[in-house]
Amino acid sequence: MSTHDPGGIGAGSEHGDEHLAASGRADSEAADHYLPGADVDEPALIDVEEVRPELADPQLVDALVAPDRAVHARMGEPLLQMQGVTVRFGGLVALDDVTFDIRRGEILGLIGPNGAGKTTAFNAMTGVYRPTSGTVMFDGASLGKAKRFSITQRGIARTFQNIRLFNEMTALENVVVGTDARHRTSVPGALFRTSRHRREERDAIDRAMALLEFVGVGGRATEKARNLSYGDQRRLEIARALATEPKLLCLDEPAAGFNPAEKESLMGLIRHIRDDGYTVLLIEHDMRLVRGVTDRIVVLEFGRVIAEGTPDEVTNDPKVIAAYLGVPDAPESEETTDAPA
């Protein structure tokens, strides 16, 4: 993935403040706790002492984490549809009439050589870029001109290739911020701490804690994000994206920088996420990981879809092999034939 990505949706940090303001925590004292660089000695806004210890119970965690098990009934139907999507940057066509579906309940891999358009496709479906032409349909309706926050609310969440966490916030707080996308209390409700608002806060903490357990960093809930290991930070990003209760989770090179054992364990987590009723889009360079975890793969090259199918079909496709390995040079014997005698 490139570094062009200028931002992201709800699970991304730049929207954290937006969410806080929307949920009424924009008073300066509370907001300070959420800002990167906030005074490390101040007490955390969320009293983690209150977190219920029984959340470590795996069954309860599963029950809290899985958003909508009824999704299984509609498995295989298109959830997101890229329909003839073209994205131009001036004279450069980054995506050229791209059409593919992401089906409910699947893990779809989006692969392709450097500069193929993967990030651009990701950005087109998460509201970062508006397609020059074509349509992105999600859950039966066009994303149209939807802004990133509303795309989060409609059910798309993403993680970033370059980790974007609130470093000075605890792991738990980072995930609670993600739950703000689903808060329903008004600003006055939050300011006056109505019972509904307090209940939502309580639920947000419970759910955030369950998500931390689910991704395997429950034991680090009260530590500042910056003190987590690189691998745990990646897992924390996934927990925060899941906190927005997405239907579609887009993972942008989640295994970047992982060793083989960490990759193996991440594959297990991604499968578990899918089994819990989420649909997953995965951009990943590591072919072993992509083959091992995806149900289907879409391959881009020069902004176009060149192959689509099961991992076996795609990785044996001559067009894909040529795209990755380059078209073989003309045989030497031909060159010698043409050479002057």
Ligand X SMILES: Nc1ncnc2c1ncn2[C@@H]1O[C@H](COP(=O)(O)OP(=O)(O)OP(=O)(O)O)[C@@H](O)[C@H]1O
Q: Which residues bind ligand X (CB under 6 A)?
A: 1-2, 4, 89, 92, 94, 112, 114-120
For ligand X, the closer of residues 4 and 193 by Cβ is: 4
For ligand X, the closer of residues 6 and 328 by Cβ is: 6
Q: What is the β-pairing status of strands 296-301 and 78-89?
A: unpaired
Nearest distance from C-beta of residue 74 to ligand X, angstroms: 30
∠ at Cα 300 (158, 151), nearest 5°?
25
Q: What is the 3-state secondary structure (H, E, C) of 298-323?
A: EEEECCEEEEEECHHHHHCCHHHHHH
Nearest distance from C-beta of residue 41 to ligand X, angstroms: 40
Q: What is the 3-state secondary structure (H, E, C) of 20-56?
A: HHHCCCCCHHHHHHHCCCCCCCCCCCCCHHHCCHHHH
For ligand X, the closer of residues 87 and 211 by Cβ is: 87
Instruction: For 48-79, give the DSSP string.
Output: GGGS-GGGG-HHHHHHHH---GGGGGGTTSEE
Nearest distance from C-beta of residue 276 to ligand X, angstroms: 28
For ligand X, the closer of residues 117 and 277 by Cβ is: 117
Nearest distance from C-beta of residue 111 to ligand X, angstroms: 9
The torsion angle over the Cα atoms of residues 119, 84, 313 and 106, rounded to 10 degrees, is 70
Question: What would you report as the CA-atom Rg of the chain, rounded to the nearest whole angstrom?
Answer: 22
- Tokens at 298, concatenated: 């879409």
Nearest distance from C-beta of residue 329 to ligand X, angstroms: 24
For ligand X, the closer of residues 214 and 258 by Cβ is: 258
Q: Quick check: helix, strand or coil at residue 217?
A: coil
**First vs last Cα of the chain: how many Å apart?**
48
What is the Cα–Cα distance from 231 to 258, expressed in whole angstroms? 7
Nearest distance from C-beta of residue 326 to ligand X, angstroms: 16
For ligand X, the closer of residues 95 and 176 by Cβ is: 95
Per DSSP, what are the bridge partners of residue 81? 101, 137
Nearest distance from C-beta of residue 131 to ligand X, angstroms: 13
For ligand X, the closer of residues 64 and 299 by Cβ is: 299
